[in-house]
Structure 1
C-alpha cells in the first residue's frame, strides 16, 4: 500500500462544469448509440430516435432527482449513499446490491460488443472465440496492471467522438445523394409502431445512459460543489440524449424500418453502406480499440468495487478483500468478472443490455423515492420545498423507472429477480434477521484503494 496521504490524490475544486459534463460523457461513451442502434430500431419497429427521446426524458427525470440529492447530501454520492441517509441502512444495502449487478456484469456487455465488432471484421472466426480472446486480453492486462488505462481511455474518447462526427457526416452525405427510401416521419412513428414497442425499445436504449449518475461522485472535486454537480448531471443527460437522438435519426433515415440481417452487427453494415468497405474496416478497428480500452476500465472498476466491499466486510474478506502479493491487484475478483463474461456466449446483445438495466432502473426508482423522503424530512423541520419539484416530478420519475423495468425481457427480469433475492437473503444473514443495521459499503474515494491496489 502506498504511504502517500490519500488526500494528495484528490482534485479539490479543480473541475469546471464543462469538465464534469465531459467526465459523464466519457463514462457513458456516446458511441454506444451506434452499437445498439439495430437492437433499438428492431424493438421499436423502425422508430429508434423516438425510443431514444423517451429514454432521454426518463433519464432526465431521474437526473433532476440526482441533482437534488447532490445538493442535499454534499460530497461524493451514489444511490447507495442517498438511500442509506434518507431511507434506511438495509434499503441502502439493497440499493448498493442492485448497483453491484451493473458493475459486476457490465464488463460482460463490453466484451460481447467487442466480440461482435471482431466477428463483423472477421466473420469466419466464431463470435465466441473473439469473446474468449477479449476476456483473456483485458483480464491479463488488469491482472498485471495498466496505469495508463485512464489516459488511454480519455484519448480514445476524443477519437471516438471524432469518428461519430465523421459517421454522422457520411450519413448526411449519403442521404443527400440517395435520399431515404421511406418518408422522414416514418423514422419517428410509422404504421408498425406502437406505444408498447417504443417503451420496450426505450428500456433497452436507456442502457446508453448508464454512467451519467457517476457524476454524483465528484461532489468534493467540482468547482462550486453540489451546485456544479447538479448542473453537470442535467447537462450530461441532455448532451448524451441529443447525441443519441440525432445519430439514431440519421441512421434510421439511411436504413428505414426494423429489418436487419443481423441486428447486433447493424452498425457495421450501415458504415459499409455510407462509407464503403475500407472506411467501415478502419472505423471498426478504431471501435474495437476503444471497446477493449473500455473493457479494461469496466473490469478494473468492478474488481475494485468488490475488493472495497470485501475489505469492509460487506462481502467475504477471504475471497474478495485480498490483493495479489505479486502484482498488488485483486486477481480473484478479476477472474470472477472474467467468468461472468463467459456467460455472454449464451446471450445476444438485447438480453445482455436489458438485464444490466434491471439494477439501473431499480436504483433510479430509489433515488426518486429518496427525494420524496427528503421532502418529508424538510417539512418536519419547518421548511417547505416546492411540492411539484420534490414530490410530483420524483413520483413521475420513479413510476417511469419502474415501468421501464417491467418492459425488460423475461430473462432480464428473472436474472434481476434472482440477484435481488440473493441480496435479501445475504442481508438477512448480515443483519441477524434484519434486526441490525446493514454494514456500510464505502463507494467513495475516501475509502478507496490506493493506486497500487487497483493498478
Structure 2
C-alpha cells in the first residue's frame, strides 16, 4: 500500500502556512527589534528574498523526484544514498522536536489562563489531539489545519485594523504609512542580517510542503507552486504584522519582557477582550504547527522506512483505508510525550541544525543534478541551476555562523549517532542500501 494523491494546491499551501505559524511573528518581535535597531519588517523582507532562492531549489528538485522524503530523497538520488540518509537523519532531529515544542507552548498558554489545571494535562491532551487527527485521512488533517490557519489570518487582519486606529490617534510613530520600519539612514545591514538569521526558521513551511509531494495531485506542477506561495504569503503576513507592531512600538524598552512581548502588545492595542482573542490565535498557531509537523515527520519516516534504512514493515507501512502511515503516527505521538520531561529552552535547542543541513543539500542537489548530471549549461541554465542555488547556499552558510552553540553541539552528536547507525547497516547488517534507488518519476 502506498500514500494516496488526494491533496490539491490549496491543501498543501495551507499546510505550509500552518507549519510556519503566522502568529509566531509576535513571539520573536521583541528580540529581533532589539537586534535590528527597530527594523523588523526590513529583516523579514531580507529573509524572504534570501530564502526564496532555497525555496526555488526545492521546487526544482520536486519536479525531478515527486516523492515523499523531501531533502532526504533529493540528496539520496542526486548525490549518494549515504548522503541522503544522513540528510534525512539530521532533518529528523528538527521534525521530532517541533511537535514537542508546540505541546510545551500549548501547556504554557493554557496554564496562564487556567492555572489550577496542571500543565501536563494540556500537554497530553495536545499530543492525543494531533495524533488522533493524523491517524485519519490526510485531507481531514488538512481541513482542520485550514480552519486554524484562517483564524490566525483573521486575527492578524484585526490586529492591523486596530493598529491603524491607534496610529491615527497618535500612538507610536503616529503615522499609518511610514518608511521608518523598512528604512532609515542609520540602518545597519549587518544588524539586519543577524535578524534574518533568527527569522529564517519562520519560513520552514515550504520544507513541510515538500514532504507531502507523494500525496499531492499533479505534484510536478502543484508542489513547486505551493512552495513559492507559502514563502510569499507567509512573508507578506510576517511583514504586515511586524510593520504595524514596529510602528506602534518603535522602542521595545516599553515592554516589561521584550522576549515575550506578545501578551503586552495585545493588551495595549485591544484591551482584555482582544488579548483573549490573541491568546486563542496563539493557541491555534501551536495546534496547526504541531498538527502538520507531526504529518511531515511521519512522511519522512515513511520514505526512510520504505527504502529500508529503518525497519520497513513498521515505518514503511500505510493503512489500506486511510492511506496514512499509522504506525509512524503512533510512534511520533509516543515520542512527543517526552515533552512532559522537557522545558521549552531545552526542546528549542534541538532544532534548526537539521533544517540548515536540508537547505544546504537541496541547493547542492540542484547544482549536481542539472549542471553536472544533465549537463544543462546555457547562460540561462547557469543562472537557474548554479547561481541561484549558490546564493541560497551562501545565505544558509551565513546562518550557520549564527547557529546557537547548543543546537550545533546537539546536532553534531545526533549526526554522529546517524553515522554509527549507517555503519551498522552497511558493515554489520550487510544492507546494500545503494541498490534501493528511485527513478526520476519517484517510483
Name the TM-score class by shorter chain: 0.7 to 0.9
Structure 1: runs of 5+ lacking an equivalent: 448-455
Structure 1 CA distance for aligned equivalents of residues 313 and 59 of structure 2: 38
Structure 2: runs of 5+ lacking an equivalent: 319-325
Residues 408 and 440 of structure 1: is their aligned pair in 2 closer, same or farther, counting only changes over 3 Å? farther
* 1:63-78 equivalences in 2 (<5 Å): 63-76=55-68, 78=70
Alpha-carbon shift at residue 205 of structure 1 (Å): 1.1
Q: 1:347 is paired with a residue of what secondary structure?
A: helix
* 1:424-435 equivalences in 2 (<5 Å): 424-432=419-427
Residues 308 and 433, structure 2, Cα contact 8 Å, conserved in 1:
no
Q: Does 1:211 align with 2:214?
A: no
Partner residue of 2:290 out of 295, 299, 313:
295
Partner residue of 1:97 out of 77, 83, 89:
89
Residues 42 and 412 of structure 1: is their aligned pair in 2 closer, same or farther, counting only changes over 3 Å? farther
Residues 281 and 364 of structure 1: is their aligned pair in 2 closer, same or farther, counting only changes over 3 Å? same
Give 1:415's aligned residue: 410
Aligned residue pairs, count: 425
* 1:319-334 equivalences in 2 (<5 Å): 331-334=330-333
Residues 20 and 202, structure 2, Cα contact 8 Å, conserved in 1:
yes
Residues 21 and 233, structure 1, Cα contact 8 Å, conserved in 2:
yes
Q: TM-score of the superposition, structure 2-length normalised?
A: 0.81
Give 1:347's aligned residue: 345
Give 1:176's aligned residue: 168
Residues 344 and 152 of structure 1: is their aligned pair in 2 closer, same or farther, counting only changes over 3 Å? same
Structure 1 CA distance for aligned equivalents of residues 402 and 63 of structure 2: 32
Structure 1 CA distance for aligned equivalents of residues 214 and 301 of structure 2: 23
- Encode CA deviations 1:251-276: one digit per residue, 9 max, x unaligned: 11111134342244311211111111
Residues 206 and 357, structure 1, Cα contact 8 Å, conserved in 2:
no
Partner residue of 1:261 out of 250, 256, 261:
256
Give 1:396's aligned residue: 391
Residues 288 and 381 of structure 1: is their aligned pair in 2 closer, same or farther, counting only changes over 3 Å? closer
Deviates more, 1:300-309 or 1:46-55: 300-309
Alpha-carbon shift at residue 44 of structure 1 (Å): 3.1
Structure 2 CA distance for aligned equivalents of residues 112 and 78 of structure 1: 27
Residues 192 and 135 of structure 1: is their aligned pair in 2 closer, same or farther, counting only changes over 3 Å? farther
Structure 1 CA distance for aligned equivalents of residues 191 and 180 of structure 2: 14
State the Cα RMSD in Å: 3.8
Residues 46 and 252, structure 1, Cα contact 8 Å, conserved in 2:
yes
Structure 1 CA distance for aligned equivalents of residues 331 and 65 of structure 2: 34
Partner residue of 1:51 out of 43, 52, 55:
43
Structure 2 CA distance for aligned equivalents of residues 182 and 176 of structure 1: 6
Structure 2 CA distance for aligned equivalents of residues 165 and 190 of structure 1: 26
Alpha-carbon shift at residue 408 of structure 1 (Å): 1.8
Alpha-carbon shift at residue 77 of structure 1 (Å): 5.8
Q: 2:22 is paired with a residue of what secondary structure?
A: coil
Structure 1 CA distance for aligned equivalents of residues 116 and 204 of structure 2: 31
Q: 2:38 is paired with a residue of what secondary structure?
A: coil
